[in-house]
Amino acid sequence: MGEAHMEFGPAGVGALEKTATELTLNKFGKAKLADVFDDFVIYRDLEPLDKRLPGLKSAAGKMGLSDQSIPRKREIDYARAARWFAEKCQTLRNESKNLAELLFLGDSLYNDGQAFQNLHDLTEWQAACFIGDEKSTEEAAVEMHGEQTIYSANRWAALGDWAGHVLAQGLALDERTLVIVDIDKTALGAKGRNDGVIDHARLEGIYRTMDSVLGANFDRAAFERQYDELNRAAYHSVTADNQDFLAYICLVLNAKLIQFDEFVKEVRGGNLDNFFQFTRWVNSRMMINPIGSERLRQVHETVMNCEFSGDPTPFKSFRRQEFITTIERMGNMASDAPVDEMLQQEITLTNEVMEIAKWLAARGCLLLCMSDKPSESACPDGHESADLPPLHRVET
């Protein structure tokens, strides 16, 4: 086997063989993210699962951040935090060599590509990024972005070719190399192949939350219409493309505290252009017309408190349900189930990502999972899901 050639297997679902427009997928057995990454996993709140690592709450100043507000993945402060975590991880694994190279694996040019670019600019390390988004009905294709450092492919199986490309660029891929891997729709539920199951789990988490808060008054048909309409770029000024914000807005509309047509009119008229305004509007309505359950009021107060503290994941009850519905879709199918059915019903590991991660680990690289996924949707809650393992330790 050549230095940059990887034979994909034995974990997850991945490409077996491919032509220009056809892709044959096969199963390679079950595994866990922790098999490769252990507890070097960091979610949106920037509090590492490996408790030997300090998190944002206790080390924001050391990271070079001005306060404990949680930066989003595209922001430069996220890159500052990522570099600090990487250097601490390098020390934890007793590696004396300084980091000097960066690899980044993700599924979104907008989020992962920008996060990579920020970290590349900040560190000035030699760097390369792979963005995968499978389009099996199209001819296999690669596009280069970011001064030829970002390799965007419509096949996850292109990771092997990318590794060869990176070596040809002169990167050593050794103990000096930091490898950051995204989780949702990259390591798990490959975008374009298996990501629909992740989306279904999130929606089911929303439905269960709506049932819990609104009970028999939950109008699912109205929710679906409103969610589909508001989950568009035209409303990003208010939703900020944040699923917590969107789910909360849809909850308020479903409770008829604010009418859907009224909301749309305010957005289109330019009178409502951010989420902060919306929560104040809801607060006023609750004071004037205190309809709805006590459960709805509790959700609203939690959202407002999180908003004041700069927490970008304010709808905690929804995310805790999403964790449960996600775990229910991992390792849930028989091992002999047809691949097509499995990709529609189970969140699977992306075999190509797992294999290149293992290959890089064997070369001495530092592997770190960093995801904008809320920790509430990836780790058990002490009350609602204490008996479940964290997502990265679920076999699928």
- pLDDT tens string 225-282: 999 999 999 999 999 999 999 999 999 999 999 999 999 999 999 999 999 999 999 9
Cα angle, residue 378 at apex, residues 306 and 184 outer, rounded to 5°: 105
Using a pLDDT cut of 90, give the percent of the chain over it.
85
The predicted pLDDT at position 20 comes to 41
Q: Which residue has the higher pLDDT, 323 or 148?
A: 323
Contact 115, 94 (CB under 8 A): no
The predicted pLDDT at position 27 comes to 65
Q: Decide if pLDDT at 6 tops 50.
A: no
Q: Decide if pLDDT at 172 tops 90.
A: yes
Distance CA 83, CA 98 (A): 12
Strand partners, 130: 105, 151
Q: Decide if pLDDT at 309 tops 70.
A: yes
Reported pTM:
0.91
Choose among 346, 351, 322: nearest CA to 332: 346
Q: Decide if pLDDT at 197 tops 90.
A: yes
Q: Decide if pLDDT at 4 tops 80.
A: no
- pLDDT tens string 367-377: 999 999 999 99
pLDDT-based confidence at residue 210 (cuts at 50, 70, 90) = very high
Choose among 316, 371, 72: nearest CA to 205: 316
The residue extents of the domains of the chain are: 13-192+348-393, 195-324
pLDDT-based confidence at residue 3 (cuts at 50, 70, 90) = very low
Q: Copy the structure tokens of residue 352.
A: 């190509």
Q: Decide if pLDDT at 396 tops 90.
A: yes
Distance CA 245, CA 51 (A): 30
The predicted pLDDT at position 21 comes to 42
- pLDDT tens string 105-158: 999 999 999 999 999 999 999 999 999 999 999 999 999 998 889 999 999 999
The predicted pLDDT at position 163 comes to 97
- For residue 106, give Cα distances in angstroms to 22, 96, 257: 23, 28, 39
- pLDDT tens string 42-55: 999 999 999 999 99
Span between the terminal Cα atoms of the chain, in Å: 28
Contact 348, 188 (CB under 8 A): yes
The predicted pLDDT at position 337 comes to 93
Distance CA 143, CA 335 (A): 36
Torsion, CA 174, CA 110, CA 23, CA 332, rounded to 10: 90
The predicted pLDDT at position 67 comes to 87
Average confidence (pLDDT) over 333-338: 92
